[in-house]
Amino acid sequence: MSRPVFIVSDHTGLTAENIARALLTHFPAQPLRYLRRPFTTDMAAAQSVVREAETLAARGERPLIFTTTIHPDVLNTLRTAPAQVFDLLTENLRILEQEFAEAPRLEAGGHHDMQDNEAYLSRMEALDFALATDDGVGDRQYGLSDVILVGVSRAGKTPTSLFLALQHGIRASNYPLAEDDFERDGLPAPLQAHRDKLFGLTIDPRRLHAIRTQRKPGSKYASIEQCEYEVRRTNTLFARLGIPSKDTTSASVEEIAAGVLALLRQSGRLEG
């Protein structure tokens, strides 16, 4: 028997689910199942959630309901369910109302929809940019980049650049370090004019070996010797030129991206 966890939102429910997961991760022994009810914008939809909760509670599965709704009708309806309701926004909204001495404008779902059109467009433009410039581009594209991710093949450049674009509207291009670069030593020519935009990704050679082996088993490319060589040269390059870098071996794209954002903020290229 698992506990039903309702995610009820007047929009996509991503924020409510993130909070629910952030909380429930601290109870790893609890068997849970998620029941997502996005776009719950009126009382009828809320009543349907309540009926589901009643059915579940009747057979001993008392639900948890996490909601980011701010509609009083929807919230009051949800509160009639035989469930523990987590109202994630309205209490804090009241505190902000006092803090600002101003009533909130109560249209729904403003944070994830097209109201913030400019920010959204910049995310989509950054995504186009990341896709167009994936793995090696010319000087013009490097000039337009907010950051240039530098690292060996399969060190995490592409997922990171896509994440930076989709989540943060950051234009990230890539420079894949390869044999030629290691033979020449020094900063690769295409990067020389953009040194302040470089962010290095490094990785444990054994992890790199495992990743590459999945793609091209038995190849020189995937061999532990080649991986060790490339990583050693990469780390030397980053150290000698003072390129800020992050070890991606056990880092998620969120964590790598956080490192990039911190660098952009430190250097004043990003607010906050």
Q: Which residues pair with 87 in a beta bridge?
A: 67
Choice from 1, 60, 99, 242 touching a second copy (CB under 8 A)? 99
CB of 165 to a second copy, least distance (A): 9
Q: Is 151 annotated as a binding residue?
A: yes
> Contact region for a second copy (CB under 8 A) — 53-61, 156-164, 194-202, 230-238?
156-164
Q: Which residues contact 231 (CB under 8 A, 6 or more apart)?
A: 152, 202, 203, 204, 205, 208
| Per CB under 8 A, 33 contacts a second copy | yes
Nearest approach, Cβ of residue 179 and a second copy (Å): 23
Report the C-alpha gap between 200 and 138 in whole angstroms: 19
Rounded CA-CA distance 18/179 in Å is 42
**If binding is defined by CB under 8 A, does position 48 make contact with a second copy?**
no
CA distance 272 to 268: 9
Of residues 59-78, those binding a second copy (CB under 8 A):
64, 68, 70
> Annotation-wise, does 147 bind a ligand?
no
Report d(CA 256, CA 240) in Å as an integer.
Answer: 22
Minimum CB separation of residue 191 from a second copy in Å reads 24
Q: How far is the CB of 246 from a second copy (least distance, A)?
A: 12
Helices (H) and strands (E) in the chain, counts: 11, 8
| 31 binds a second copy per the rule CB under 8 A | no
Binding site residues, as ranges?
151-158
Residues making up the binding site for ADP: 151-158
